């Protein structure tokens, strides 16, 4: 069986992103209007309109893991996600992929990941004499940092995803 070409891999990646983004968008069409219109319980009657908006925004931030610097264009309320979907989806992994904006960070982490895998494999006997990563995987790693799967960040911890490398824990070392 012939190895897929780079254009085959990128076409498959594009189909994956499109499919995941469509599924996630349909879900967001249902949930974001509910978040936007959510009313606080009577026990919170002293909460101002501004505080209620802030609570909605915090929920949205946790739901889709808004980056600290937010997005471009910035999200200020839940409906902004749908309004600017084509620009925002890839920035917050709603298309099923993660791509860090810093190319130097990406290259360094990719090399750390590659080295860690090959070092681990080095403890095993290699049938060909030297371990290498599959070329299709190398190509994929140059275009995305992780395949997150469907849905939004808050719920991904209960499903499966593939993250290539973010470092050794929360310190990002």
Rounded to 5°, angle at Cα 73 from 64 and 77 = 55
From residue 169, give the alpha-carbon distance in Å to each of 75, 92, 107, 173. Answer: 28, 20, 18, 7
Q: What is the CA radius of gyration of the chain?
A: 20
For 79, the token pair is: 């409906």
pTM (whole model) above 0.85: no
The per-residue pLDDT for 101 is 86
CA distance 29 to 78: 11
CA distance 137 to 167: 19
- Average pLDDT score over the chain: 84
Average pLDDT of adjacent 10-residue blocks, the chain of 173 residues: 91 96 92 81 70 85 82 88 92 91 93 93 91 94 89 61 49 40
The per-residue pLDDT for 106 is 94
Strands 146-147 and 162-163: antiparallel
The per-residue pLDDT for 161 is 52
CA distance 67 to 98: 12
For 38, the token pair is: 């959510």
Q: Are 70 and 87 in contact (CB under 8 A)?
A: no
State the residue for tokens 């069409």.
29
């Amino acid at each position: 069986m012939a190895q897929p070409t780079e254009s085959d891999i990128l076409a498959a990646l594009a189909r994956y992103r499109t499919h995941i983004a469509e599924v996630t968008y349909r879900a967001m069409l249902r949930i974001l209007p509910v978040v936007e219109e959510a009313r606080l319980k009577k026990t919170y009657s002293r909460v101002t309109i501004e505080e209620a908006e802030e609570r909605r925004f915090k929920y949205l931030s946790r739901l889709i893991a808004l980056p600290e610097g937010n997005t471009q264009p910035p999200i200020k309320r839940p409906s902004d996600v749908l309004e600017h979907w084509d620009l925002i989806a890839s920035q917050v992994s709603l298309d099923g992929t993660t791509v860090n904006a810093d190319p130097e960070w990406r290259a360094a982490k990719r090399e750390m990941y590659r080295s860690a895998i090959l070092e681990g494999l080095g403890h095993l006997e290699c049938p060909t004499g030297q371990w290498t990563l599959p070329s299709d995987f190398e190509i994929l790693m140059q275009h995305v940092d992780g395949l997150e799967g469907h849905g939004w960040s808050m719920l991904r911890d209960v499903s499966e995803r593939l993250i290539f490398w973010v470092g050794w824990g929360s310190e990002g070392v």
